[in-house]
Chain A
Amino acid sequence: MRGNNGGGHTLETVMTASERRTVYLDHAATTPMLPAAIEAMTYHLARTGNASSLHGSGRAARRTVEEARESIAEALGAQPSEVVFTSGGTEADNLALKGLWWGRLAEDPRRRRILLSGIEHHAVLDPAVWLGRHEQAEIEWLPVDERGRVRPDDVRRAIESDPESVSFVTLMMANNEVGTLQPVREIAAIADEYGIPVHTDAVQAIGQVPVDFAELGVDAMTVSAHKVGGPYGIGALVVHKETKLTPILHGGGQERDVRSGTLDAPATAGFAVAMEHAIKHQADEARRLTELRDALIDGVVSTVEGAKLSGDPTERLPGNAHLSFSGCEGDSLLLLLDARGIEVSTGSACNAGVAEPSHVLLAMGYDDQRARGSLRFTLGHTSTRADIDAVLENIGPVVERAKSAGLQNVGRNT
């Protein structure tokens, strides 16, 4: 059969992955929008009004935004005035890091140390490194153990070596790749002894583990809508009332002058519905997902030789199963699973689409090969037992095949 005679087939007849039953196990990347959130957002999309306008339409939009703010604040244990809407998690992280940096420096020029872990999301890592390069911030990496956990004692030691010079501490609530939960509350308490602000990226934690801003004792917390069943393109930085934050987006002075830009009223409405739902059902959902996750982990580890769980067996996100497979590449596994309609992630960053070994796994002490032979399965509100069964049915043959394709691309070391 030659492919060059064109003719009979049209592109529409080509079978694509989306036409098969899809087993979606990449909820940490994004999770399907809740129907109620779509409904709320769609309702407001059909209405006109800039929340900053003084007339009736503006008032209506403002009401939508403020009601959303109040409901998100309540769900997260914060005051409404502490919720600053942003374009998403990345902007909220940038605002937290740069805003805290310049805010703290204006008060005391000695504050040049940023304490953070090497397993942070790039939206935290990269602004920190940027501050190091452009603002002469001193980046101090907090060590993580082989389960990806930062020890409070290490934070205490780092602070106490010279408390006056610390700008802030940033530590994620839960790691996005291996799902390890971090002792954020303990660390916030230690920092508080010295009046040092703490930021946490809670994007992955919301809806999976209890998150209460006031109770955590942090000064700034990043959340994102599309990870909890809300729309893309909106998130928030929850900032303690007394925390000084220098704005990074300048303009119309919205969001108490901290974040200029016309508010996306429909998105705030969708965000609020999703957030309320996620917090309300968190405990039940955590129980349900933990059971499914453990069935997935036990099933894979007991049937696939060389498969190992990464991260902490219990102190982890209920929906996260991160597994490494010896003797094969994550890229091969992903391709083979994708061909079978099972969608997962290798959890690695891309440069020209070329997979680099994950900085999280390398920080946890993994060697290059094990880091490359890893897959992240993340469960969410649409996940069912049938999804887990589909993985368990396919993973054995897929790993065997991937092993025969070998490790020929491992060892890219430049």
Chain B
Amino acid sequence: MRVLAAMSGGVDSAVAAVRMAEAGHDVVGVHLALSRNPQSYRSGARGCCTIEDSRDARRAADVIGIPFYVWDLAERFHADVVEDFVAEYAAGRTPNPCLRCNEKVKFSAVLERALALDFDAVATGHYARIVDTPDGARELHRAVDPAKDQSYVLGVLTQEQLKHAFFPLGDTVKTEVREEAERRGLAVAAKPDSHDICFIADGNTPGFLSEQLGESPGDIVDAQGNKLGEHKGTHGFTVGQRKGLKIGTPAADGKPRFVLDISPVDRTVTVGSREELAAAQLTASKPRWCGPAPDSELHVKAQLRAHGEEVAVTARVEGDLVSVDFDEPTSAVAPGQAVVLYDGTRVIGSATIDTVSRVAAQHA
């Protein structure tokens, strides 16, 4: 098979590429240039998108002995990921840009171009497993390394996309990947993991959003509408957030307060207790199913944010709408994040969270 290995310059994608080449595939390495203004050197813990990362990727490709090219996806990435990210925050939601990138860039723009250029598949260094079923379908499963599992951000992939995808690291733990890189003389073996959001160079998301959206001061209130403090813009908040609320006076009961709701229209951030935060139900839309769309009530597990815990749920799908009831009240359910449904280790699909129903509100 002719396989395009997306190489960020990090250790994971380098080992993914070498594994594809060893499996006998005709592999070509491609570094995706995603930043419109790439910096020369990486700073902090980021592991992609600088010129140095591009050179690391090329050096790894040379060691593996595969051709290497750089594809300029900066405009596409900006339009589909960065602008969406900013717009979602402006609307009081909390987006996951990695998920959007996989959906719109890596397994869409890149995959389409790869297929047009005679490739059969795209391989990445994501930690997730693809399992071929006897009837020729493909399933997406969690990686064996729970600490590295990235199936959540791949939950947007459809059957067609999965059929052209390879995740060669899904059955390996990270330490083994580093050892393998070391063994093969890949200089990226000891390169730090990338964290944070790749297009925010200094890791300061609120700062980035303020730059993009400016300041729009408003009130911080409690569920009864009493003003507790002020803020510089609703985009600085995420539902479930506890730190950085900067409310002068403590709560009457002395317990911590959490963001319950963000309303950009009247520039209000509502806070309340852990009990008030607890959610009973969510609704989500724009579902993406890894296989056929489920048509009945599902008693499955759901993950509500990257690296979040699984919770038991009952999900119902009606066309483009998904409603999810939590078996137990659940905190930190943020609109804009994806709810990814799992059957055991298998990813069923995902949808974007629109609304959250609180336990407290239902009892009121």
Count chain B residues whose beta carbon lies closer than 8 angstroms to a beta carbon of A: 51
Q: Are B33 and A4 in contact (CB under 8 A)?
A: no
Across the interface, name the chain B residue whose C-beta is closest to A12: B65
Whether, in the assembled complex, A401 has its beta carbon less than 8 Å from a beta carbon of chain B, the answer is yes
Known A-B contacts A332-B117, A352-B33, A402-B117; A409 and B71 likewise in contact (beta carbons under 8 Å): yes
| Candidates A1, A11, A13, A14; contact of B1 at CB < 8 Å | A1
A335, B112: Cα distance in complex, Å: 15
Across the interface, name the chain A residue whose C-beta is closest to B37: A414
B interface majority secondary structure: mixed
Q: Are B19 and A6 in contact (CB under 8 A)?
A: yes
Q: Are A9 and B113 in contact (CB under 8 A)?
A: no
Whether, in the assembled complex, B51 has its beta carbon less than 8 Å from a beta carbon of chain A, the answer is yes
| Set of chain A residues within 8 Å of B16, measured between Cβ atoms | 3
- Quick one: which of A305-347 are within 8 Å of B by CB? 331-332, 334-336, 338-339
Q: Are B75 and A411 in contact (CB under 8 A)?
A: yes
| Set of chain A residues within 8 Å of B37, measured between Cβ atoms | 414
Interface string of A1-34 (1 = CB under 8 A from B): 1111111011101111100000000000000000
Whether, in the assembled complex, B20 has its beta carbon less than 8 Å from a beta carbon of chain A, the answer is yes
Whether, in the assembled complex, A355 has its beta carbon less than 8 Å from a beta carbon of chain B, the answer is yes
| Candidates A4, A17, A339, A354; contact of B171 at CB < 8 Å | A4
Whether, in the assembled complex, B24 has its beta carbon less than 8 Å from a beta carbon of chain A, the answer is yes
Q: Are B19 and A4 in contact (CB under 8 A)?
A: yes
| Set of chain B residues within 8 Å of A3, measured between Cβ atoms | 3, 16, 19-20, 22-23, 25, 123, 166, 168
Question: Least Cβ distance of A408 to chain B in Å?
Answer: 6
Q: Are B71 and A405 in contact (CB under 8 A)?
A: no
| Set of chain B residues within 8 Å of A56, measured between Cβ atoms | none
| Set of chain A residues within 8 Å of B54, measured between Cβ atoms | 352-353
| Set of chain B residues within 8 Å of A335, measured between Cβ atoms | 28, 67, 69, 117
Whether, in the assembled complex, A404 has its beta carbon less than 8 Å from a beta carbon of chain B, the answer is yes
Q: Are B170 and A15 in contact (CB under 8 A)?
A: no
Known A-B contacts A11-B64, A14-B65, A412-B74; A336 and B23 likewise in contact (beta carbons under 8 Å): no
Question: Least Cβ distance of A344 to chain B in Å?
Answer: 14
Whether, in the assembled complex, A406 has its beta carbon less than 8 Å from a beta carbon of chain B, the answer is yes
Of the candidates A10, A331, A336, the one having the most CB atoms from chain B within 10 angstroms of its own CB is A331
- Quick one: which of B43-58 are within 8 Å of A by CB? 50-51, 54, 58
Of the candidates A402, A404, A405, A408, the one having the most CB atoms from chain B within 10 angstroms of its own CB is A408
Of the candidates B3, B16, B66, the one having the most CB atoms from chain A within 10 angstroms of its own CB is B66
| Set of chain A residues within 8 Å of B74, measured between Cβ atoms | 354, 412, 414
Known A-B contacts A2-B166, A336-B118; A14 and B21 likewise in contact (beta carbons under 8 Å): yes
| Set of chain B residues within 8 Å of A353, measured between Cβ atoms | 31, 33, 54, 58, 69-70
Across the interface, name the chain B residue whose C-beta is closest to A13: B24
Q: Are B72 and A354 in contact (CB under 8 A)?
A: yes
Q: Are A412 and B117 in contact (CB under 8 A)?
A: no
Question: Least Cβ distance of B339 to chain A in Å?
Answer: 29
- Quick one: which of B3-30 are within 8 Å of A by CB? 3, 16, 18-28
Whether, in the assembled complex, B116 has its beta carbon less than 8 Å from a beta carbon of chain A, the answer is yes
| Candidates B65, B70, B168; contact of A11 at CB < 8 Å | B65
Q: Are A14 and B28 in contact (CB under 8 A)?
A: no
| Candidates B2, B64, B65, B118; contact of A401 at CB < 8 Å | B118
Count chain A residues whose beta carbon lies closer than 8 angstroms to a beta carbon of B: 39
Across the interface, name the chain B residue whose C-beta is closest to A11: B65
A309, B181: Cα distance in complex, Å: 46
Interface string of B64-101 (1 = CB under 8 A from A): 11110111111110000000000000000000000000
| Set of chain B residues within 8 Å of A14, measured between Cβ atoms | 21-22, 24, 27, 64-66
Q: Are A1 and B23 in contact (CB under 8 A)?
A: yes
Known A-B contacts A353-B70, A412-B72; A11 and B33 likewise in contact (beta carbons under 8 Å): no
A14, B3: Cα distance in complex, Å: 13
Q: Are A2 and B130 in contact (CB under 8 A)?
A: yes
| Set of chain B residues within 8 Å of A414, measured between Cβ atoms | 36-37, 74
Known A-B contacts A9-B22, A353-B54; A16 and B117 likewise in contact (beta carbons under 8 Å): no
Q: Are B22 and A11 in contact (CB under 8 A)?
A: yes
Question: Least Cβ distance of A412 to chain B in Å?
Answer: 6
Whether, in the assembled complex, B306 has its beta carbon less than 8 Å from a beta carbon of chain A, the answer is no
| Set of chain B residues within 8 Å of A15, measured between Cβ atoms | 26
| Set of chain A residues within 8 Å of B184, measured between Cβ atoms | 11
Whether, in the assembled complex, B263 has its beta carbon less than 8 Å from a beta carbon of chain A, the answer is no
Whether, in the assembled complex, B353 has its beta carbon less than 8 Å from a beta carbon of chain A, the answer is no
Q: Are B22 and A331 in contact (CB under 8 A)?
A: no
| Set of chain B residues within 8 Å of A331, measured between Cβ atoms | 69, 71
| Candidates A1, A334, A352, A408; contact of B51 at CB < 8 Å | A352
| Set of chain B residues within 8 Å of A4, measured between Cβ atoms | 19, 23, 168-172
Question: Least Cβ distance of B180 to chain A in Å?
Answer: 8
Known A-B contacts A4-B168, A11-B64, A352-B51; A408 and B70 likewise in contact (beta carbons under 8 Å): no
Question: Least Cβ distance of B48 to chain A in Å?
Answer: 12
Interface string of A49-83 (1 = CB under 8 A from B): 00000000000000000000000000000000000
| Set of chain A residues within 8 Å of B20, measured between Cβ atoms | 3
| Candidates B66, B75, B113, B168; contact of A16 at CB < 8 Å | B66
A402, B114: Cα distance in complex, Å: 10
| Set of chain B residues within 8 Å of A404, measured between Cβ atoms | 116
Q: List 20 A-B contacts (CB under 8 A).
A: A1-B25, A3-B20, A3-B23, A4-B169, A6-B22, A9-B23, A14-B21, A14-B27, A16-B66, A331-B69, A335-B69, A336-B117, A338-B67, A339-B2, A401-B116, A402-B117, A408-B76, A409-B71, A409-B76, A412-B74
B residues at A contact (CB < 8 Å): 1-3, 16, 18-28, 31, 33, 36-38, 50-51, 54, 58, 64-67, 69-76, 109, 112-113, 116-118, 123, 130, 166, 168-172, 184
The 7 closest A-B pairs by CB, nearest first: A353-B70, A405-B116, A3-B23, A3-B20, A3-B168, A4-B168, A352-B51
If A11-B22, A401-B117 are given as contacts, then 13 extra A-B residue pairs at C-beta distance below 8 Å, sorted by A number, are A1-B1, A11-B18, A11-B21, A14-B24, A331-B69, A334-B69, A336-B117, A339-B2, A350-B70, A351-B51, A354-B38, A401-B116, A405-B117
A residues at B contact (CB < 8 Å): 1-7, 9-11, 13-17, 331-332, 334-336, 338-339, 350-355, 401-402, 404-406, 408-409, 411-414
